[in-house]
Amino acid sequence: MTAPAPRGWCPSLHEPMESGDGLLLRVRPPAAGLRAADARLLARMAARHGNGRIDLTQRANFQPRGFSPASARAFAGAMVAAGLAAADPVVERGRNLLAPPLLGVDATLHPGTAALVAAMAAAMRAWPVLPAKFGVVVDGGGLLPLPMQADIGARPGEIHVGGAMASCDDIPAAATRLAQWFAGRSEPRMRHAVTVLGAGAILRAVGLAPRPAPPAPPAPRSVGRLPGALGVAPAFGALEAAQLEILADLAETGDGTLRLTPWRTLLLPGVIALPEGLITDADDPRLRIRACTGAPGCASGWIETRAAAAQAATHGIPGLLHVSGCGKGCAHPGPAPRLLLGTARGFAVARDARAAAPPEQDGLTLDAALEALS
């Protein structure tokens, strides 16, 4: 293990993060999907070396939990040996590319998408060392368009930074100029540089002609029977190793791959049968709840968020509900129509609020908080 990078630090496979249930780390599946055999290995190693809990992240990564320093090294070694990660921590940290989950499956993706993903991944290997959270998204439209919410966003023929975009023939070259420009800055993320300079000035600084980008599309449906794939979701993004093994078996009845999405769902191309114990109904009320790890898994959590979220799902609370164990708001950085927050005084509630904002009511019981939000 290496020392954590100081600017914009974030856990990776070789740089685990301490949490309430031990160390957690991240596994980044390949852009074209994780093969069933690799998913099975990941599940078995997460159960053997960690506590078997695997969160799905909004960057479409697996985040297994509950490791000791020694068992985290053993797990990382198994992932590298399986070809699921780079042995070099710096290289592994830089593999921060989100690609369309149905790459190679969705015939409605822009025909240049796969080539762009491959070219971007190759270009990124030669980029300077950037903050660990620095990420790239490559979108190709199709059934599940990705939001351009990354430090650099790319689509065939266009590049995006912080709400601005530019047309461009050589996207990997333009992205490389942006990465090199950003490497000379002190901000932890591109959005901070955007706040200081403006997105247009950043694009102009690397020779691009900016224009406003259209608003992000609403999150598409990624649960249930989709054209060409089955979408499943673990409740609140929390998967068990045993469930991942079941999904690996199921994937082998389809094209043999599992695809992670930034909506904390898994897609199984070509699969028909529905698994037990996972959400497959797009109208399930748990899909309208964003809950962080909370207590006891996270040492900062004031409340058991997932238990509270499970109870909230039975209350018919309208719209999106954000359940946050503390004011950091890991599960939903923006404002949410309904907020259920853990504080030193108990449960707090607010509407149209970020987790960090002062709540409207605090010191409530869970029942009273849910009543206030209903």
Residues engaged in binding ligand SF4 (CB under 6 A): 292-294, 298, 300-301, 324-326, 328-330
- Taking CA atoms, 25 is separated from 19, 194, 226, in Å, by 10, 29, 30
Residue 18 or 360 having the CB closest to ligand SF4: 18
CB of 246 vs ligand SF4, minimal distance in Å: 26
CB of 331 to ligand SF4, least distance (A): 7
Between 21 and 74, CB nearer to ligand SF4: 21
Distance of alpha carbon 177 from its chain centroid, rounded? 25
Rounded least distance, CB 103 to ligand SF4, Å: 30
**What's the min distance (Å) between Cβ of 236 and ligand SF4?**
11
Q: Which is nearer to ligand SF4, 298 or 336 (CB)?
A: 298
State the Cα–Cα distance between residues 27 and 49, nearest whole angstrom: 14
Q: In this structure, are residues 146 and 198 in contact, taking their beta carbons and an 8 Å threshold?
A: no
- DSSP-H helix ranges across 11-93: 36-49, 69-81, 89-93
Nearer CB in complex with ligand SF4: 182/236: 236
Which whole-number Å values give the CA distances from 22 to 65, 89, 165, in the listed order?
Answer: 7, 20, 41
Q: Which residues of 13-51 are buried (b: 16+ CB within 10 A; e: fewer)?
A: bbbbeebbbbbbbbbbbbbbbbbbebbbbbbbbbbebbb
How far apart are CB 191 and ligand SF4 at their closest, in Å? 19
The runs of H, that is alpha helices, within 226-364 are 241-251, 305-312
Nearest CB to ligand SF4, comparing residues 40 and 322: 322
β-bridge partners, 160: 153, 165
Report the SS3 class of residue 234: coil
Minimum distance, C-beta of residue 343 to ligand SF4, in the bound complex (Å)? 11
The CB density around residue 4, as the number of other CB atoms within 10 Å, is 15
CA dihedral for 279, 280, 284, 288, sign (positive or negative): positive
CB closer to ligand SF4 out of 258 and 292 = 292
Residue 124's SS3 state is helix
Residue with smaller CB distance to ligand SF4, 23 or 105: 23
Residue nearest to ligand SF4 (CB): 325
Least Å distance, CB 295 to ligand SF4, is 7
Residues linked to residue 22 through DSSP beta bridges, in sequence order: 19
Structural contact between residues 322 and 330, judged by C-beta atoms closer than 8 angstroms: no
State how beta strands 152-155 and 136-138 pair: parallel
CB of 30 to ligand SF4, least distance (A): 27
Q: Which is nearer to ligand SF4, 35 or 65 (CB)?
A: 65
- Residue 19 CB, shortest distance to ligand SF4, in Å, is 8
Q: 147 is written with which tokens?
A: 């939001």
Q: Is residue 95 within 8 Å of residue 124, measured between CB atoms? A: yes
- Shortest Å, Cβ 73 to ligand SF4: 24
Closer to ligand SF4 at the Cβ: 163 or 301? 301
| Cβ atoms of 133 and 189 closer than 8 Å | yes
Comparison of 89 and 301: residue with beta carbon closer to ligand SF4: 301
